[in-house]
Every structure is written in structure tokens, then in C-alpha cells.
Amino acid sequence: MRFLFTIAMTLLLYGCYKNESVITDTLIYCSEAYPQSFNSQISHDISTLDATTHQLYNRLVKFDASGESFIPDLATHWQQSDDKLSFTFFLRKNVNFQHTDYFTPTRFFNADDVIFSFQRMLEINTPYNSINRAGDSYFYNHPFTNLVADVIKIDDYTVKFILNEPDVTLLANLAAHYGVIISKQYGEKLLSIGHPEKIDYYPIGTGPYQFKNANKRTGIIRYNAHPQYWGVRPSIKNLIFEVTTNKTKRHSKLLSGECDIITYPEPSQLDKMAANPKIKLHRTATDNLALWSFNTVAAQFNNKNIRQAFSYAIDQKTIIEAIFFQSGNATSSLLAEQSWAYNPKRITLQYNPQLALEMLKNNNFDFNKTITILTSIENSVFNPNFHKTAELIQINLFDIGIKSEIISLLPAALEKRLASGHYDTYLTGINMPMNDPDSLFRPLLSCDATVAEGNSSQWCSKRVQTLLDSALLESNFIKRIMSYYKLQEITQQDRPYYPIAHVLRVDASNQNISGLRVDPLTGIDFQYIRKTEVN
């Protein structure tokens, strides 16, 4: 009797329970991590880019779909001066900033907002320069601040960028995620009420969606469509980001319709997903790199032959097969193949434990010492499973008689450990925030870059530094490429980093979702997304 009652209740519940997939004006994107902030000017993690760049903001210019040429965004057109030292941008008129319950703009977007947005990066004396900069890395200043001397307002809808040197990368910089335009009026209002820090957490931009609310604890971010958006208005009225850290659960939630789109499914399930006609997979090659860095300051690892020997000891192929499956491409270069500065004359990484052992012996490697493999407990977009990768490396090292210890730490503890410099090797990854090799090499190799910024090998060499700096300032494109070729050769000889794989960005959506755009550099774009009834 009671049993029947339970069954009846279950059926009743089942009948009443409606899944999210039937509501076509609401889209749920299940992401991997909560964004650091809601302003891609100061946060460069992929979650922030996904949550902000295309959704909340616009930039002056953006890349077209092919990623090769620039198309107008908030600037309708632009001119380069004859001496190549300045660019003039003509701005779009009648562009509304978002109206939210915490801010109501009283004027349209104009040149003041452009100047306000870029002054935040360029001028140390502006009040917003130092706000919320804790998690900020140096991308904030370089290479943009080196490049631009000043931004001048010509009239309300014309601004001029004055450059230090002739440089072609200005447009690429403006199209990068940190080129977003924020509201000056909002900034002034926040200053007057004494809460300037809110500018990055209660965002106001001109983009197709506007911020509704967000909660880090629950991992849910809600956006509404921006009703006065100047461009093509999205058909989705409610855009929800739901952080689901577990890959398997993301996959299950996609199948059950609780998520419309998910990011980074479990790599081992990729072939199953590809075979499922109900799921669309979006794979995009990225410059994001999974790597293993050698602490070149630590004893023994200051010898480049030892580092080379370690690189011979690692079986990269098995790592790719066991950890990455089809979500990463094995690589022997730091720079991805699609980059314009990629040096095709690379040294391929070989798996040769015999050679490794020989080299170690020739260089008097101390086999009694246990080396540390530091890594993060929490997996990221760079590596589906840091700890298992470390275990594979450990096995490879064990085969040639090297004892190693894996230290997996939570982010807070990891940061402390890295800052202390107390590690031999570190298994991590790095993303390249803009399509410029400098944005990869500088954090990895510059003497100025800290470990937290990316230089986990603590690499500092005069030759590399000179090469980095001169390449950045070089206006001749061919010469610049040559410098980066040279840089790649040096890193392959000196081997401060062992590149493991260039990871693919994988997003999966249900069949009823169309119009998804994923830009590997600036993040996912939901402006043109459509959701239809499931049939």
C-alpha cells in the first residue's frame, strides 16, 4: 500500500518535473570555473573571458570569423596616419550602455568612455589604475602600455591613439579581450559613492547581455538580454552560467538537458560524444599549452643537459593517449602551429630513456635525491588531469631510476609553495591571451615575469631578455618573426619547459542549439545563439 503510494508520488513528481531544455528563451552554459572578476581588463583567466568579453562588452574593433582581418565593433572605421605613429578611430553613435538596477546611464557611449577605459591601463595616476589589481598580471601593462603613448579625444565621436613606435599590433591589441570599453559615467558614480571596486564586479558595458546577478558560492551567474543593444539583439532572454566543476556531471547534465552547452567534457568521452547524433561538438585549436617546467634555480636543474635528459625520459605519446585523448595535440614547441611566428624547424621531442640515462650519468645526476613534481589538485583547461599526468611522469622517471614525489596542492597552498620557490618541477599550463607570441614568451621567459605570472622555471637570461625586448619593438615584420624563430630555438636547446600538448578548446551543445561561436583567444560568444524546441 505504502509502496504503491511512493510509486504514485514518484510518477506524479515525474509528470510535473519539467526540464530546462523546453524553455527556449533561457540558455544554460555549464562552465568549468567561476570567473575571477567581471572585467576582462583586469582578469585574464578563460572563465572571465567566456563570461565577459563578448557578452557584456564591446571593443573598438574585433576579429572577423576567420580571425585574420579586423572588423568594426564600437569604431565604425579607422585611419592610420602617414608616419604610422597614430591611429584615428571614428566611433559608433547612439550606443547605449546597459540599464541595470544598480546603474542607469544618462548618455550614449562616446569618446570619453574610450579614453576612460584605456586610461585605466595607461595612466598610473588615474583613480581606477590601482583598483582590484590583486589578481592582475602584467598583461595589463605590457605590451599595450609600451605601445601606446596617449589616447586623445578629437571630438565626441573621434579618438586618436598615439604610439611610441610604429607598430602594427595596435589593432590586435584593441581586439584583444582587454580592449573592452567600460562606462566613464558609471566609474564616476562609483567613485562618488566610495565603492570604485564594484566596477569589476557589477559590470556595465555596451554588450548584448547585461549583468543580473552572480553568486560565487552557488556558482551561478545570470545575465539578461540587453534590450537597447545597438547590434543584432540575441534571441536568448536569460543567459545563465552554471559552474559545474565535475566533467562527468557536465556531460550527464548535457544529456539530460540541464545544460544547453557545456565546456570541456571528459576527454575519455569525446569519441562517444562525437558518435551521439544528439550532441554537437565544437573543437577549436588554441594556443593554450600544457607544460612541465623545470625550476632552473633548483640544484641540478640549473644544468641544461639534465633538463634535456629529463625531456628524453618522458613518454609524451602515452600522456596524450591516457590523459588528453582527442582534446590535445602533442607538441614539441611552446608556440602552437597556427601561430604566425611558429618555427617549422623545430627539434622534435623524442622518448629515449637510454639516452636520458646516459646523459644523466654523464652529468653526475644525483639519483638518490627525490625530485618534487608540484601540481594543482584542481584541474584546469590546460590539463584534464594534472595528478594523473604527474603519475605518468613519475612512472617514466622511475623507469630510469629517478625517485620523485608528487605534491598536489589546492590553489591557495600552491600559490604559497610557488612563491617560496621550493620545488624542482612544476606541472602546469599557460594560455596565450592574444595572438602575439610575445604574450606567450614574455610571461614564460622574461626576467621580470614572476612565477605566478607564468615564469615557473624562474628563467632569466640576458640573451633571451634582449631578444624578447627587441622583438617587441621591432617594426619590421620579417625581422620580428626571425627573432621569435631564434627564441624558439633557444628554448628548445635550453629546455626550461617541456611542452606536453596544445589543448583543444572543446564545447558541446545539444542539437537544438545553433549559432555558437567560440573564439579561442577572447572566449565564447552567445550573441547569435538560438535555441529551438527539442523535437
Contacts with another protein by CB under 8 A lie at 2-3, 5-6, 10, 13-14, 16-20, 23, 26, 28, 213, 216-218, 220, 222, 238, 240, 242, 244, 246-249, 251-253, 255-258, 266, 268-269, 272, 318, 321-323, 377, 385, 387-388, 391-392, 394-395, 398, 406, 408, 410, 412-413
Under DSSP, the state recorded for 323 is I
110-113 long-range contacts (CB < 8 A, ≥24 apart) are 110/156, 110/157, 111/153, 111/154, 111/155, 111/156, 111/157, 111/158, 111/159, 112/153, 112/156, 112/184, 113/181, 113/182, 113/183, 113/184, 113/185
Of 26 and 329, nearer to another protein (C-beta) is 26
Of 367 and 398, nearer to another protein (C-beta) is 398
Sign of CA dihedral 480, 481, 485, 487: positive
Q: What are phi and psi of 93, to 5 degrees?
A: -100, 165
> Which of 329, 325, 328, 330 has its CA nearest to residue 272?
325
Of 170 and 313, nearer to another protein (C-beta) is 313
Minimum separation from the CB atom of position 416 to another protein (A): 10
Of 415 and 474, nearer to another protein (C-beta) is 415
Query: Are the C-beta atoms of residues 355 and 290 closer than 8 Å to each other?
Result: no
Query: Are the C-beta atoms of residues 323 and 267 closer than 8 Å to each other?
Result: yes
Between CA 371 and CA 404 the distance in angstroms is 5
Of 274 and 297, nearer to another protein (C-beta) is 274
Of 176 and 381, nearer to another protein (C-beta) is 381
Query: Are the C-beta atoms of residues 161 and 170 closer than 8 Å to each other?
Result: yes
What single string gives the DSSP state of each residue in 370-431?
Answer: PEEEEEESS-BTTBS-HHHHHHHHHHHHHHTT--EEEEEE-HHHHHHHHHHT--SEEEEEE-
Distance between terminal CA atoms of the chain? 38
Minimum separation from the CB atom of position 275 to another protein (A): 13
- Cell numbers for 394: 613519475
Minimum separation from the CB atom of position 512 to another protein (A): 15
> Which of 176, 48, 41 has its CA nearest to residue 113?
41
Between CA 128 and CA 182 the distance in angstroms is 12
How do strand 425-430 and strand 371-376 relate by DSSP bridges? Answer: parallel
Neighbours of 256 (CB within 10 A): 11
Of 445 and 524, nearer to another protein (C-beta) is 524
Name the β-bridge partners of 514.
530
Of 188 and 391, nearer to another protein (C-beta) is 391
**Burial tier of 70 (Cβ tally within 10 Å: 0-12, 13-18, 19+):** middle
Q: Find how far residue 258's CA is from the centre of its chain.
A: 25
Of 78 and 386, nearer to another protein (C-beta) is 386
How do strand 517-519 and strand 371-376 relate by DSSP bridges? Answer: unpaired
Minimum separation from the CB atom of position 132 to another protein (A): 14
> Which of 284, 287, 281 has its CA nearest to residue 265?
281
Of 266 and 494, nearer to another protein (C-beta) is 266
Of 251 and 346, nearer to another protein (C-beta) is 251
Of 105 and 265, nearer to another protein (C-beta) is 265
**Amino acid making up residue 292:** W
